[in-house]
């Protein structure tokens, strides 16, 4: 039984403010006072540290995935998509249809709650210096909860998806994907709702499911492995010719892209409402798709 008179929230906050050394010395006693297992107390304290912005003593940095704020004014859907396509081509040389496809792919990163499939965006080129990394930099300002990585393994991917479901932007895929069959399996299963991988966790090796459903773009030289390519929208880039002009991407000058992301958030919310409304009224498969017209609400 917990000790009478103890304020649980205040005690957890006090423990979260302790140094790791002091917390380690107090954790078992504190767990008994609160009538908690030490493993549960550890999780509560870690969550409180994250809430307070405390240093947890671990390597690296906590995940920080930006979310746009819906644009306060009405949005014209078709104009927005055209503007997005033009903004992408402002920084990366690509055919018009590829920029249009990329703009549409960005929209669906905001709508995974109402979609059953999220195709991968395969950004490929026959050689280096074709703009793949620049395109991912642009997408990082546009998509929902962007998470960029130029190398990764299986465990952080499915654990991050389970926790925050980001939009994964993988660069340099040719350096690690072909040899990583397990990671390819995660990315394959995550293209559809309900994808998951089973893993054991904790000291008692309890079997748990980790969701893998998340949007993902992959940039690499050459072609994606067959199973991934089959689940992807292909965007092939070529080296810029002498007469082709683009504006260099600057990380400190992204206001135009940030505003478009806010517009996209608003557009996606209305599209979600329209899809939900159609499902209530009738079989959505037999009704016209929502029109991306003026959004004013």
What CA–CA distance (Å, rounded) separates 174 from 82? 31
Query: Is the domain of 15 the same as that of 159?
Result: no
Top pLDDT among 43 and 169 is at 169
pLDDT one-digit tens code per residue, 103-114: 999 989 988 988
Q: Locate 96 and state its tokens.
A: 């018009």
- How many independent structural domains does the chain possess? 2
Residue 61 lies inside a defined structural domain of this protein: no
Q: Mean of the per-residue pLDDT values for the chain?
A: 83
Query: Is the domain of 113 the same as that of 152?
Result: yes
For residue 2, pLDDT beyond 60:
no
Residue 212 lies inside a defined structural domain of this protein: yes
Residue 21 lies inside a defined structural domain of this protein: yes
pLDDT one-digit tens code per residue, 69-85: 665 666 677 888 899 99
Residue 232 belongs to domain with CATH number: 3.40.50.300
Residue 72 lies inside a defined structural domain of this protein: no
Query: Is the domain of 22 the same as that of 92?
Result: no
Query: Is the domain of 42 the same as that of 152?
Result: no
Which residue range forms the structural domain that includes residue 156?
Answer: 78-278
Query: Is the domain of 231 the same as that of 165?
Result: yes
pLDDT one-digit tens code per residue, 251-288: 888 888 888 888 767 777 777 777 767 666 655 454 44
Structure pTM?
A: 0.73
pLDDT band at 297 (very low <50, low <70, confident <90, very high): very low
Residue 1 lies inside a defined structural domain of this protein: no
Query: Is the domain of 125 the same as that of 270?
Result: yes
């Amino acid at each position: 039984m917990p000790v009478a008179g103890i304020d649980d929230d205040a005690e957890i906050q006090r423990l979260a403010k302790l140094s790791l050394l002091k917390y380690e010395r107090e954790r078992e006693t504190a767990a008994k006072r609160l009538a908690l297992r030490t493993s549960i107390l550890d999780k509560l304290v870690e969550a409180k540290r994250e809430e307070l912005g405390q240093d947890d003593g671990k390597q690296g940095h906590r995940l920080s995935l930006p979310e746009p704020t819906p644009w306060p004014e009405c949005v014209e859907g078709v104009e927005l998509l055209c503007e997005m396509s033009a903004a992408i081509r402002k920084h990366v040389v690509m055919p018009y249809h590829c920029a249009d496809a990329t703009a549409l792919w960005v929209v669906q990163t905001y709508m995974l709650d109402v979609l059953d499939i999220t195709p991968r965006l395969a950004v490929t080129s026959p050689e280096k210096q074709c703009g793949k990394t620049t395109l991912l930099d642009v997408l990082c300002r546009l998509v929902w909860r962007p998470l960029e990585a130029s190398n990764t393994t299986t465990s952080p991917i499915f654990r991050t998806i389970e926790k925050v479901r980001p939009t994964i932007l993988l660069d340099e895929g040719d350096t690690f994907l072909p040899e990583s069959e397990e990671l390819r399996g995660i990315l394959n299963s995550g293209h559809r709702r309900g994808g998951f991988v089973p893993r054991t966790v904790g000291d008692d090796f309890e079997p748990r499911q980790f969701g893998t459903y998340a949007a993902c773009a992959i940039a690499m030289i050459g072609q994606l492995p067959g199973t991934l390519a089959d689940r992807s929208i292909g965007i092939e880039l070529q080296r810029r010719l002498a007469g082709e002009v683009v504006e260099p991407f600057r990380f400190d000058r992204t206001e135009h892209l940030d505003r478009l992301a806010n517009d996209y958030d608003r557009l996606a919310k209305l599209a979600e409402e329209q899809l939900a409304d159609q499902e209530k009224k009738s079989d959505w498969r037999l009704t016209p798709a929502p029109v991306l017209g003026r959004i004013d609400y």
